[in-house]
Amino acid sequence: MAYRFAGHWGSAPFLAVTTSRPLAGTDFTVYLTDGITLATLYSNRTKVLSVANPQMTNSLGNGEFYADPGDYIVTCNGASQSVTVSPDTVETYLGARRSINSSNTSAPFAETIPRWAASTNLAALTTQILAVYAVEIPPRTVVSSATFVSGATALATATNRWFCLMTGDVATPTVLATTADAAATAWAANTKMTTAFTSTYTTGNTTDWYYMGIMVKATTVPTLVGAPLASVVTSSAFSPTLAGTSSTLQTIPPTVGAIMAAVTNTATLGYGALL
């Protein structure tokens, strides 16, 4: 099983066998369950940077580490103990929404609508107008890219195209991350388009609503796969507005921190996904 995040393990003080005093500043080693193979340890939950194994206890004799969830053997000063690293809270949240396995580590952790509901070819875009769709993202999640799917109409004669992530504020949606300008790059009909943000964004400590944005300046904008809402009333029945438009006369991507125009609700909800 592959995990997006590392779990955290922390101990009560390691104690000396003969004196029962805390072992401050003492190496401890983490092994796989065979007791021979060193475990891979990380600096934090994101698994971006691996760290040395063994690690060292703090001034109180406590030890802690980040590793993939599972069972391990920890040795310190000649004594061993079996420990279990539990999944990160976000991993648990994601597990309820999608299967986490070795062949599915790139599955999206947030979608504007479920994929099974994205069954309609929508004329959702207007040239140079930022279209936005609400998306709920779990806490402490690193957002690195956005995906939209074109419908039956392909992009033609494009000048600018970009995706963005914004706060879920209807009145003042603020840019948190953007992709680079795709300019005249082709986008065929019925095609998934995944584009990395120029810098990642990490969500806060609670689940919250955000907006995914897509802007295309072109002679022919693509249609999007998504779902039609019964009316604009449905879109804005509760906060945040599910689908809408924001700033007009757009060309190049906005800067992070830019405040875009207030969201005007629409009845066309495009499918978008975040990875």
Percent of the chain with pLDDT over 90: 67
Q: What is the dihedral of CA 167, 168, 171, 174, to 10 degrees?
A: 10
- Pair of tokens at residue 55: 């690690």
> So what's the pLDDT on residue 206?
77
Say what the pTM is: 0.66
Q: Residue 274: pLDDT above 70?
A: yes
Q: How confident is the model at residue 98 (pLDDT cuts 50, 70, 90)?
A: very low
Average pLDDT over residues 110-128: 94
Please state, in angstroms and rounded to a whole number, the distance separating the CA atoms of residues 107 and 79.
Answer: 41
CB atoms within 10 A of CB 210: 25
**If you average pLDDT over residues 170-196, what whole number do you get?**
97
- Tell me the average pLDDT of the chain: 89
Inter-residue long-range contacts of 195-201, CB under 8 Å, 24+ positions, other chains counted:
195/145, 195/146, 195/147, 195/162, 195/163, 196/144, 196/145, 197/143, 197/144, 197/145, 197/146, 197/163, 197/165, 199/256, 200/142, 200/143, 200/144, 201/142, 201/143, 201/165, 201/176, 201/177
Query: What pLDDT, on the 0 to 100 scale, is given for residue 238?
Result: 82
Amino acid at 6: A
C-alpha dihedral, 177 to 207 to 64 to 60, nearest 10°: 110
When pLDDT is averaged across residues 201-229 and rounded to a whole number, the result is: 93
Q: Which of 228, 147, 158 lies closest to 191, judged by CA? A: 147
Among 4-18, 60-74, 151-165, name the one with the lowest average pLDDT: 4-18
